[in-house]
Amino acid sequence: MSPRCSCLMTSMAVNLILGWWLVAVSRAQQLPRPSLLLHPSQGVSLGNTVTLRCHLPQPATRVELYRDGQWRSRKEMDQEQDVAEFSLAGIKKKDSGTYQCQYQGLAPAGTSEKSDPVKLVVTDHSYPPPGISLSPKEHVEIGTNVTIQCSNQEYGAAFLLHKDGHSSPIQQQEPDYWGTATFTLFGVTPADSGTYRCSYRIRGCCLLFSPLGDNVTLEVIPRPAPPGVNGGASRDLVAVVVGRWVAVIVFIIILTVSVLLVAQRRQMQRDERPGATPRSPEAVQFQVSPGDSEGLTYAQLQAVTPSTHPPGSSTTPEPPIIYAVVGTRGPR
């Protein structure tokens, strides 16, 4: 091997080692990334003022702002400052875009990574808002597929679906040939209830959007129970209640009859006891005027009634006496 080739190989090895060392040093000195926030974060229109705040995790000497990857502005920092503010007054179309910030560390020294990107979306009210429609209707049952259509044939490059209560669009859709974007909510639940609006990104521009259009309101209601489910349960409940009441009434009737039968049996037993005084027929008296009693013949009869005393009893009841007419009065 010639001395020239040996020197070339030694030079390549040194350069490779030096490159590895520089990469290691660069990674060792790499600082944690900052965070960038927009104020306000939405609803920015042409002519408004927007403040971009770059929050620093440690002291820095300066902070730089980038838009769409290109350097935009720089701000020198004091050691006590942990936030760098960039103000964009009188927002123009060219100000819309994606922003990031980056800082130079004080101790340890070095350059941080760029922050996560944030989008500055600008609204131009000179463009008409999109149309919107809801299908099948505003009140649907759980599990229904709902379609929301947004349309603008002249300017719309991409449509966004907004829902009240959300800081950012919930869906984005490219329009068809007729300038209509179709958003489908599959198997809706009560969480999908709310107010929806549309906007569109203006064709041929950056992050310039139309104003929000009219709204539609979606209400998701519970699915009605199949026939006979709730009705059958109600009928079963009524049948159970009625059955219990009938059972109570029958029990009361049986109890009452039983009490009456027991009372009657006790009364009969008292009448059949030895020494009890038997009941005798009541005497019936006939009133006959003195004038009509002439010529009448009376007969005395004895009525025999079954004795309630046991055989051998010394008590002999007196038989009742009955008087009967056996003759008639002749003519005067």
Mean pLDDT by 10 residues, the chain (332 residues): 56 62 50 91 89 90 92 86 91 92 83 92 92 91 94 88 90 92 94 94 86 93 69 69 88 88 80 59 51 52 50 52 50 46
Helix, strand or coil, per DSSP, at residue 34: coil
What residues are paired with 44 via a beta bridge? Answer: 122
What residues are paired with 75 via a beta bridge? Answer: 63
What residues are paired with 109 via a beta bridge? Answer: 106
Residue 78, phi then psi, degrees to nearest 5:
-95, 165
Q: What is the pLDDT of residue 100?
A: 95
H or E stretch at 121: none
What residues are paired with 64 via a beta bridge? Answer: 74, 102
Q: What is the pLDDT of residue 3?
A: 53
- Give whole-number Cα distances, 100 to 54, 57, 129, 239, in Å: 9, 15, 30, 73
Q: What is the pLDDT of residue 15?
A: 64
Q: Cα–Cα–Cα angle for 276, 279, 280, nearest 5°?
A: 135
Q: What is the pLDDT of residue 332?
A: 43
Q: What is the pLDDT of residue 24?
A: 43
pLDDT tens by residue, 209-221: 999 999 999 999 9
Q: Let me know: does 120 contact 97? Beta carbons within 8 Å.
A: yes
The whole-model pTM stands at: 0.54
- Which residue do the tokens 């400052």 mark? 81
Q: What is the pLDDT of residue 120?
A: 92
Residues 6+ apart with CB under 8 A from 326: 297, 298, 299
Q: What is the DSSP string of 216-261?
A: EEEEEEPPPPPTTHHHHHHHHHHHHHHHHHHHHHHHHHHHHHHHHH
Q: What is the pLDDT of residue 28?
A: 41
Token pair recorded at residue 35? 């965070």
| Whole-angstrom distance, CA of residue 25 vs CA of residue 70 | 26
Residue 293, phi then psi, degrees to nearest 5:
-85, -10
CB atoms within 10 A of CB 179: 19
Residue 79, phi then psi, degrees to nearest 5:
-65, -30
| Whole-angstrom distance, CA of residue 125 vs CA of residue 212 | 9
Helix, strand or coil, per DSSP, at residue 44: strand
Token pair recorded at residue 244? 């219990």
Token pair recorded at residue 307? 């004795």
Query: Residue 311: CA atoms inside 13 Å, Cβ hemisphere, count?
Result: 0
Q: What is the pLDDT of residue 218?
A: 94
**Burial grade of 131 (CB within 10 A; 0-12, 13-18, 19 or more):** middle
- Which residue do the tokens 């597929």 mark? 145
| Whole-angstrom distance, CA of residue 31 vs CA of residue 28 | 8
Q: What is the pLDDT of residue 53?
A: 94
Residues 6+ apart with CB under 8 A from 208: 93, 96, 122, 123, 124, 201, 202
